[in-house]
């Protein structure tokens, strides 16, 4: 399960690895999870 920490890590890594195609699918998955997580946090 992803946590807010992995979201911060994803944001950090997305700036470092913009050229990395192999991670794009994983990133997209994490990104959508982070968006969902932030929505849940803002609702609480």
DSSP characters for 6-34?
HHHHHHHHHHH-TT-STTHHHHHHHHHHH
Task: Kindly report the pTM of this predicted structure.
Answer: 0.37
In this structure, the number of other CB atoms found within 10 A of the CB of residue 23 comes to: 15
Q: Which residue has the tokens 């920490």?
A: 5
Q: Which residue has the tokens 């699918």?
A: 25
pLDDT of residue 23: 60
DSSP assignment, residue 4? H
pLDDT digits (tens, 9 = 90+) for 14-43: 665 555 555 666 666 667 777 777 777 666
pLDDT of residue 36: 76
pLDDT of residue 15: 60
pLDDT of residue 7: 72
């Amino acid at each position: 399960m992803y946590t807010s920490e992995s979201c911060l890590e994803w944001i950090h890594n997305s700036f470092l690895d913009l050229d990395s195609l192999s991670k794009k699918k994983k990133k997209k998955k994490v990104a959508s999870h982070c968006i969902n997580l932030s929505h849940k946090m803002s609702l609480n």
